[in-house]
């Protein structure tokens, strides 16, 4: 093969090896094998040579042409192979891969269940803000600045007069400010308290408060609503016990106890109790009372005409009792091995 033909083949080979796509291979093919390409130029030179050199030159030119054509084919095949997906082909008859599906958190579920029960008793649910002012958190609730009861709700302050709510009452005050009785509302949500965390105390927790205001609303109504609620929530017959207590915003106030849901001592004939009820047979389940007239005055209600009751209970605590969760911190640590059980 002539030097010129040799060089041409070498050059074409190196260009084809570097080709990164079919367009580049095609460019090389046109450059060498096209009608006006370099190989055609080589062949056109043959008749101009002395007669004895023509056969060899012609053979060299034709061999170069075939060699480059083969290289072009190889390069095309190499690029096609690289572009083909590797591994097994997808099977379109298989069911689709579904993204993992989450589910409702046990505290949210408990909250929904509670709201459902109160809804059947005529209570609508209302939401409020987690950041509230001193007025809604304390002043309107008959807790003046120097009152020792403030210590019970010591919480996180954002400024002198703005703080994270330590209970759900602010949302209820806001509803009373803009609506007249009769009123039946429940407000669920997150609250904050400065607390040392343990199995039953958290600096963030969920509470549900309720309020009923109207003419002639009395303590008997309060007892009936709470008794019905507890029996529906725990799906069991329950004894309830009201014990005098104190809250600045209710008078009289009571602490409500109910049959221990873990051992049902008292209702089952057993009387020993268990660890959950500290061997008393009773669970301290919520606080309540008749709304203090000072609260009605703060929101502009006629305290001579209207009476009402209010109550508050921990949603996390009810979820723990219902599902026998021994340590409430499990609810908020986000460990899916725990949460997937609900």
Which one, 9 or 143, has the nearer CB to ligand 2NL? 143
DSSP 294-327: HHHHHTT--TTT-EEEEEEEEHHHHHHHHHT-S-
Residues facing residue 226 across a β-bridge: none
Q: Say whether residue 205 binds ligand 2NL (CB under 6 A).
A: no
CB of 322 to ligand 2NL, least distance (A): 17
Tokens 């460990």 -> residue: 335
Cα angle 71, 72, 77 (rounded to 5 degrees) comes to 95
Q: Give least dist CB 341 to ligand 2NL, A.
A: 26
Question: Does residue number 137 form part of the binding site for ligand 2NL (CB under 6 A)?
Answer: no
CA pair distance 257, 243, nearest whole angstrom: 8
By CB under 6 A, name the one of 61, 107, 173, 258 that touches ligand 2NL: 173
Nearer to ligand 2NL, 19 or 318 (CB): 318
Q: Is 298 left (phi over 0), alpha (psi -120 to 50) or beta?
A: alpha
Q: Print the binding letters for residues 225-254 with ligand 2NL: x by CB under 6 A, - otherwise.
A: ----------------------x-xx----
- CB nearer to ligand 2NL: give 19 or 292: 292
Tokens of 105: 């958190």
β pairing state of 124-125 and 183-192: parallel
Of 128, 166, 189, 287, the one binding ligand 2NL (CB under 6 A) is 287
- Residue 302: left if φ>0, alpha if ψ -120 to 50, beta else—which one? beta
**Under the criterion CB under 6 A, does residue 288 sit at the interface with ligand 2NL?**
yes
Positions in 38-77 near ligand 2NL (CB under 6 A): none
Site residues, ligand 2NL (CB under 6 A): 169, 172-173, 209, 211, 247, 249-250, 286-289, 291, 295, 310-314
């Amino acid at each position: 093969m002539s030097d010129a033909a040799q060089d041409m083949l070498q050059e074409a080979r190196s260009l084809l090896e570097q080709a990164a796509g079919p367009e580049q291979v095609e460019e090389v093919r046109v450059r060498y094998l096209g009608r006006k390409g370099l190989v055609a130029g080589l062949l056109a030179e043959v008749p101009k040579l002395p007669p004895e050199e023509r056969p060899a030159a012609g053979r060299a030119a034709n061999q170069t042409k075939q060699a480059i054509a083969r290289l072009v084919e190889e390069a095309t095949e190499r690029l096609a192979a690289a572009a083909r997906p590797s591994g097994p082909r997808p099977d379109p008859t298989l069911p689709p891969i579904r993204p993992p599906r989450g589910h409702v958190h046990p505290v949210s579920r408990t909250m929904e269940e509670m709201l459902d029960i109160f809804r059947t008793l005529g209570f609508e649910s209302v939401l409020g803000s987690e950041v509230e002012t001193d007025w809604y958190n304390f002043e309107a609730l008959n807790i003046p600045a120097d009152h020792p009861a403030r210590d019970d709700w010591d919480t996180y302050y954002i400024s002198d007069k703005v703080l994270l709510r330590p209970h759900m009452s602010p949302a209820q005050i806001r509803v009373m400010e803009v609506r007249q009785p009769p009123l039946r509302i429940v407000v669920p949500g997150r609250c904050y308290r400065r607390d040392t965390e343990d199995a039953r105390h958290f600096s963030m927790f969920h509470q549900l408060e309720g309020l009923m205001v109207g003419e002639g609303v009395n303590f008997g109504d309060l007892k009936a609503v709470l008794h019905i609620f507890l029996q529906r929530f725990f799906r069991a017959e329950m004894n309830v016990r009201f014990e005098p207590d104190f809250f600045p915003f209710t008078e009289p106030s009571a602490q409500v106890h109910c049959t221990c849901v873990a051992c049902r001592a008292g209702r089952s004939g057993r009387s020993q109790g268990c660890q959950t009820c500290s061997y008393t047979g009773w669970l301290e389940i919520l606080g309540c009372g008749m709304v203090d007239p000072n609260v009605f005055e703060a929101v502009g209600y006629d305290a001579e005409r209207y009476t009402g009751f209010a109550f508050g209970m921990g949603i996390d605590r009810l979820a723990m009792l219902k599902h026998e969760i021994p340590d409430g911190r499990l609810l908020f640590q986000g460990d899916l091995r725990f949460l997937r059980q609900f």
